[in-house]
Amino acid sequence: MSDPRNMVAPEDRKFILETPDDGFSPERNKFIIEKSIKDYEAMRAKKMKAHDDAYAERADAIATYLNGLAMGGRSSSIEKYFGKRTLAYLRGDEIRQKLMANMKIYDREGNLIRKGI
Protein backbone atom coordinates (compact mmCIF):
# COMPACT_ATOMS: atom_id res chain seq x y z
CA MET A 1 0.00 0.00 0.00
CA SER A 2 1.41 3.38 -0.93
CA ASP A 3 2.01 6.18 1.51
CA PRO A 4 -0.91 8.68 1.36
CA ARG A 5 1.59 11.54 1.69
CA ASN A 6 2.87 10.73 -1.79
CA MET A 7 -0.59 11.37 -3.25
CA VAL A 8 -0.68 14.98 -2.00
CA ALA A 9 0.21 17.84 -4.31
CA PRO A 10 3.59 19.38 -3.48
CA GLU A 11 2.05 22.77 -2.66
CA ASP A 12 -0.24 21.11 -0.07
CA ARG A 13 2.47 19.13 1.74
CA LYS A 14 2.96 21.95 4.25
CA PHE A 15 -0.45 21.06 5.73
CA ILE A 16 0.50 17.44 6.49
CA LEU A 17 2.18 16.48 9.73
CA GLU A 18 5.33 14.52 8.98
CA THR A 19 5.48 12.71 12.30
CA PRO A 20 3.81 9.29 12.25
CA ASP A 21 2.29 9.91 15.70
CA ASP A 22 0.07 12.87 14.80
CA GLY A 23 -2.41 12.27 17.60
CA PHE A 24 -4.91 10.23 15.57
CA SER A 25 -6.67 7.56 17.55
CA PRO A 26 -9.13 5.17 15.91
CA GLU A 27 -10.90 4.70 19.26
CA ARG A 28 -11.31 8.44 19.77
CA ASN A 29 -12.45 8.87 16.17
CA LYS A 30 -15.09 6.14 16.66
CA PHE A 31 -16.20 7.74 19.95
CA ILE A 32 -16.63 11.16 18.33
CA ILE A 33 -18.61 9.75 15.42
CA GLU A 34 -20.91 7.74 17.71
CA LYS A 35 -21.40 10.75 20.00
CA SER A 36 -22.24 12.98 17.01
CA ILE A 37 -24.81 10.47 15.77
CA LYS A 38 -26.31 10.12 19.26
CA ASP A 39 -26.52 13.91 19.71
CA TYR A 40 -28.12 14.30 16.28
CA GLU A 41 -30.72 11.62 17.00
CA ALA A 42 -31.57 13.27 20.35
CA MET A 43 -31.95 16.69 18.68
CA ARG A 44 -34.08 15.17 15.91
CA ALA A 45 -36.36 13.44 18.43
CA LYS A 46 -36.75 16.71 20.37
CA LYS A 47 -37.68 18.62 17.20
CA MET A 48 -40.14 15.90 16.14
CA LYS A 49 -41.83 16.05 19.56
CA ALA A 50 -42.10 19.84 19.36
CA HIS A 51 -43.53 19.54 15.85
CA ASP A 52 -46.08 16.95 16.99
CA ASP A 53 -47.06 19.05 20.01
CA ALA A 54 -47.60 22.08 17.77
CA TYR A 55 -50.08 20.19 15.62
CA ALA A 56 -51.76 18.19 18.40
CA GLU A 57 -54.13 21.00 19.38
CA ARG A 58 -55.21 21.64 15.80
CA ALA A 59 -55.65 17.95 15.08
CA ASP A 60 -57.72 17.51 18.24
CA ALA A 61 -59.94 20.46 17.30
CA ILE A 62 -60.55 19.10 13.80
CA ALA A 63 -61.24 15.62 15.17
CA THR A 64 -63.78 17.05 17.60
CA TYR A 65 -65.48 18.95 14.77
CA LEU A 66 -65.60 15.88 12.51
CA ASN A 67 -66.93 13.69 15.32
CA GLY A 68 -69.63 16.27 15.96
CA LEU A 69 -70.62 16.16 12.30
CA ALA A 70 -70.68 12.35 12.33
CA MET A 71 -72.99 12.38 15.35
CA GLY A 72 -75.44 14.63 13.52
CA GLY A 73 -74.20 18.01 14.67
CA ARG A 74 -76.23 21.07 13.74
CA SER A 75 -73.50 23.14 12.12
CA SER A 76 -71.78 21.92 8.97
CA SER A 77 -69.83 25.18 8.67
CA ILE A 78 -66.46 25.05 10.39
CA GLU A 79 -66.59 28.83 10.94
CA LYS A 80 -69.91 28.55 12.80
CA TYR A 81 -68.65 25.57 14.83
CA PHE A 82 -65.46 27.22 16.09
CA GLY A 83 -66.27 30.89 15.76
CA LYS A 84 -64.08 33.46 14.04
CA ARG A 85 -61.60 33.97 16.87
CA THR A 86 -60.95 30.30 17.57
CA LEU A 87 -60.65 29.52 13.88
CA ALA A 88 -58.22 32.42 13.46
CA TYR A 89 -56.21 31.05 16.40
CA LEU A 90 -56.12 27.58 14.85
CA ARG A 91 -55.02 29.05 11.51
CA GLY A 92 -52.39 31.29 13.11
CA ASP A 93 -49.35 29.46 11.82
CA GLU A 94 -50.67 29.40 8.26
CA ILE A 95 -51.30 33.15 8.34
CA ARG A 96 -47.87 33.84 9.83
CA GLN A 97 -46.21 31.83 7.07
CA LYS A 98 -48.10 33.77 4.41
CA LEU A 99 -47.12 37.08 6.00
CA MET A 100 -43.49 36.06 6.26
CA ALA A 101 -43.45 34.95 2.62
CA ASN A 102 -44.63 38.41 1.52
CA MET A 103 -42.36 40.37 3.85
CA LYS A 104 -39.41 42.35 2.50
CA ILE A 105 -36.37 42.49 4.79
CA TYR A 106 -33.85 45.33 4.72
CA ASP A 107 -30.52 45.69 6.51
CA ARG A 108 -29.50 48.78 8.51
CA GLU A 109 -28.17 50.53 5.43
CA GLY A 110 -31.48 50.07 3.65
CA ASN A 111 -30.31 47.35 1.26
CA LEU A 112 -32.86 44.70 0.39
CA ILE A 113 -31.87 41.37 1.96
CA ARG A 114 -34.95 39.29 1.16
CA LYS A 115 -37.58 40.14 -1.40
CA GLY A 116 -41.20 39.22 -0.74
CA ILE A 117 -43.32 37.44 -3.30
Q: Which amino acid is at 95?
A: I
Query: Given this model, what pLDDT does residue 40 score?
Result: 96
Query: Do residues 91 and 99 touch, judged by C-beta distance below 8 A?
Result: no
Model pTM score: 0.40
Query: Given this model, what pLDDT does residue 5 score?
Result: 54
Burial annotation 57-82 (CB, 10 A radius, 16+ → b, else e)? eeeebeeebeeeeeeeeeeeeeeebb
Query: Given this model, what pLDDT does residue 21 score?
Result: 60
pLDDT tens sequence for the chain (117 residues): 456 556 778 888 777 766 656 567 889 889 999 999 999 999 999 999 988 887 888 888 888 888 888 887 776 788 888 888 788 778 776 667 777 777 777 888 888 877 766
- Give the integer Cα–Cα distance in Å for 88 and 63: 17
Query: Given this model, what pLDDT does residue 35 score?
Result: 95
Domain residue ranges of the chain, discontinuous segments joined by +: 25-82, 83-117
